Amino acid sequence: MSRRGAPLAALAFGALGVSFMALPLAGLVWRTPWSAVLDELRDPVVTTALRLSLVCSLGAALVAVMLGVPLAWVLARVDFPGRRLVRAVALVPLVLPPVVGGVALLLAFGRRGLVGQWLDQWLGVRLPYTTPGAILAEAFVAMPFLVITAEAAFRNLDRRYEDAARTLGAGGFTVFRRVTLPLTLPSLVVGAVLAWARALGEFGATITFAGNTPNRTTTIPLEVYLQLEAGRLDGAIVLSLVLLVVSVGVLVGLRDRWLGQQ
């Protein structure tokens, strides 16, 4: 639609809307203590949180891919009763408050949880308040982004490529490895990046399930919270800025696939 034709009132409300989204970001950038940014980033507390965040978010993205891709494939390709229900379950974390997710994870994987008690008893594995626990919490919240993207990719792939591969002698796994996977890879990468970005910013489920122990579970978002609590505003701002830069980077990187052409 041409700009000339747009009613003035709509433009005004549009401006109001975008201000609402942009002002907080502007505030963050405005209050950033630019001269101290490098010093803050060199602070061992901060570097530890950064390193831990990187490990946990990449780990969570990996878990999401390993579990999410097969699940997405099944949802896209296998017609079974209850498929809609399974899809709904897989997508629940999208709308579930993260803190509820954390509580739920405790009840499942906690020391007296549904599965956790057996993990503890048989394997001696305790997930709550550990780095693997933080990875698990982030993966739980991030996986739907991967599943939703991957299922759409599998669905949109012309089935005849797979049919052609079969008539050429490829068995089920070869078809997946040599045809399905390469043809859907760009979308799967998008899904993985979205899941990673979500995991990087995860707060509620992580702090509930994995606690807030420096060098074990204190990722950047948790460190931001600690710094604010301790009245160290500059530290909180610098770490927030790091997350903002990453988010904008993801948005720019995926702009063609996620935001359309305009």
- Which residues form the interface with other proteins (CB under 8 A)? 158, 160-161, 163-171, 174, 178-179, 182-183
Task: Name which of 174 and 215 has its Cβ closer to other proteins.
Answer: 174
Q: How far apart are CA 60 and CA 201, in angstroms?
A: 12
Instruction: Provide the CB-side half-sphere exposure for 106 (13 A, CA).
Output: 15
Q: How many CA atoms lie within 13 A of 21 on its CB side?
A: 5
Which pair of tokens denotes residue 157?
């792939």
CB of 191 to other proteins, least distance (A): 18
> Can you tell me which residue has the tokens 């301790």?
230
- Smallest gap from Cβ 168 to other proteins, in A, equals 4
Q: Name the nearest CA neighbour of 25 among 247, 222, 216.
A: 247
Scanning the chain, the segments in alpha helix (DSSP H) are 8-31, 37-42, 44-77, 83-91, 98-109, 116-118, 131-156, 159-167, 172-175, 181-200, 204-210, 220-229, 233-253, 255-258
- Our CB check for other proteins shows the closer of 111 and 257 to be 257
The number of CA neighbours under 13 Å toward the Cβ of 38 is 1
Rg over alpha carbons for the chain, rounded to the nearest Å, is: 22
Q: Which is nearer to other proteins, 73 or 109 (CB)?
A: 73
Our CB check for other proteins shows the closer of 89 and 168 to be 168
Q: Report, in Å, the least distance between residue 23 CB and other proteins.
A: 45
CB of 157 to other proteins, least distance (A): 11
CB nearer to other proteins: give 161 or 225.
161
Instruction: State in angstroms the smallest separation of the CB of 164 from other proteins.
Output: 5
Of residues 29 and 181, the one with the C-beta less far from other proteins = 181
Question: Residue 65 CB, nearest distance to other proteins (Å)?
Answer: 20
